[in-house]
Amino acid sequence: MRISEIQDKMNTGASSSRALVDSYLERISQYDKSGPAINAVIELNPEALALADALDNERQVRGPRGPLHGIPIFIKDNIDTADSMSTTAGSLALTGSIALQDAFLVERLREAGAVILGKTNLSEWANMRSNRSTSGWSSRGGLTLNPYALDRNPSGSSSGSAAAVAADFCAAAIGTETDGSIVSPASANSVVGLKPSLGLISRSGIIPIAPSQDTAGPLTRTVEDAAIMLSAIVGPDPRDPITQSGSIKAPTDYTQFLDKKGLEGARIGVARNFFGTHQAVDHMIDSAIRQMKQLGAEIIDPANILTRGQFRDSELEVFLYELKHNLNKYLAALGPEVAVHSLKELIEFNEKNKETVMPFFGQEALLLAESKGPLSETKYQEALEKNQLLSRDEGIDATLKEHGLEAIVAPTSGLPFLTDLINGDSGRGGCSSPAAVAGYPHITVPAGYVFGLPVGLSFFGGAFQEPALLKVAYAFEQAVQVWHPPRFKATADPEAKWIRN
């Protein structure tokens, strides 16, 4: 059910926030820790029912605050909440870490009337611990499963947030992305994922990886819900100067851009050089492109990102430098009840507790980050400059300008791969890097299913072009109506090769 439909039921008295929380808690009990045991939830909020009751009372006295009043949502476990819940990035090293202040986006969600139902599991340290990690696994939370095929990976690092939305454990969730960590799990779990422009959402209170790319964003059932969630969490934050730039003029309501006819006359470019990972996925995305053309879009094919793959090494270099610098700042500010207060201490903790922390893969990425120097080093500065030149000026911006495009489309990723704790991830394909490195917006929507496995279609564009992307993504979603709920099957269905609805 869409957020607006839930809100209508509460406004008419047919439901309540308390009833919603009770219903979600029952479903979580049935499917998350037992039954198929999706394991998307790392911690439930013991205050959720009390919060729901208070918001129900407020609705009766004053009316709803807005579209999120009383709506239960999950927050990824690398986002600070100043309540009884921990914020650990899935790491046993941060056990008992209670934030003293909400992340700014959490403040915004509380002000909007959302009920924080709990925290979701993730790939530990947002998948920046090892080069042989398994997405969806953390030492604190264990392994999250894909509700569409339990042996398939939910992708990371916002694994739990995407799986929780797909499995109907909440109305919506918040994930974070440095490169692919919102859009890839969204695609793998057949939900909508929106990675906003860098600077639109405050980074304060989010455990950092690489702030030159880090951002939070919504994972939802529909594009409309993503627009509602985005509207709630944007805004300038004194703790994050990048959000106060005069060039950022964030709308207060992104739902105003939703238009069922939004593809009429829209110039859409096809980044053909992101195809070729899987024949059936290509077939499905080509079918989606034909449907967009039938809906009035002008398709430019190809409209390739010519710098694709040219900034892979420099992106990693930036990750490692920024991880050390910013994680040290975050850890140093934690209280004495936490075991580690620096990256060096984290590495030592992991080594001392390797049987429980590193039973499947190591911490090579953390070791490489610890070896880096300060951000003033020329090597870091040159890598960051290269990233921005190749992803922005000579990448997305160049493609948009050359062809006069509103958006670029591509397969979000390949099919969900088999989870393998011994060998690590084996996923192929993915178009997340240009928008992630550039700090530009990217939205993925369900495009169909191959062998019963979800396929996502990506739309990405220029800086702060969320309105244009929401418009075309919504028009596509509303026209094709391909989504179906997960059936918690043990594995993929070879008889469902071309299922679209």
Active site residues: 76, 157, 181
d(CA 322, CA 200): 20
CA 282 to chain CA mean position, Å: 23
With the C-alpha atoms ordered 109, 111, 112, 113, is the resulting torsion angle positive or negative? Answer: positive
> Do the Cβ atoms of 128 and 209 come closer than 8 Å?
yes
Of the candidates 129, 96, 121, the one whose C-alpha atom is nearest the C-alpha of residue 358 is 129
d(CA 262, CA 296): 9
Backbone angles phi, psi at 323, to 5 degrees: -60, -50
Of the candidates 471, 490, 411, the one whose C-alpha atom is nearest the C-alpha of residue 446 is 411
> Do the Cβ atoms of 467 and 283 come closer than 8 Å?
no
> Do the Cβ atoms of 141 and 86 come closer than 8 Å?
no
> Do the Cβ atoms of 358 and 421 come closer than 8 Å?
no
Q: Which two tokens stand for residue 195?
A: 């990675």
* Residue indicated by tokens 């890097």: 433
Enumerate residues 6+ apart whose C-beta is below 8 A from 412.
Answer: 183, 184, 186, 187, 430, 431, 432, 444, 455, 456, 457, 458
Q: How many helices (H) and strands (E) does the chain have?
A: 17, 13
d(CA 215, CA 124): 17
> Do the Cβ atoms of 459 and 443 come closer than 8 Å?
yes
**Which helix (H) or strand (E) segment is 160 a member of?**
helix 159-166
> Do the Cβ atoms of 376 and 324 come closer than 8 Å?
no
> Do the Cβ atoms of 284 and 450 come closer than 8 Å?
yes
d(CA 433, CA 424): 20
**Helix pair angle (466-480, 223-233), 10° resolution:** 150
Of the candidates 368, 327, 19, the one whose C-alpha atom is nearest the C-alpha of residue 178 is 327
d(CA 324, CA 266): 43
> Do the Cβ atoms of 397 and 462 come closer than 8 Å?
yes
The Cβ of residue 313 has, within 10 Å, a number of other Cβ atoms equal to 11
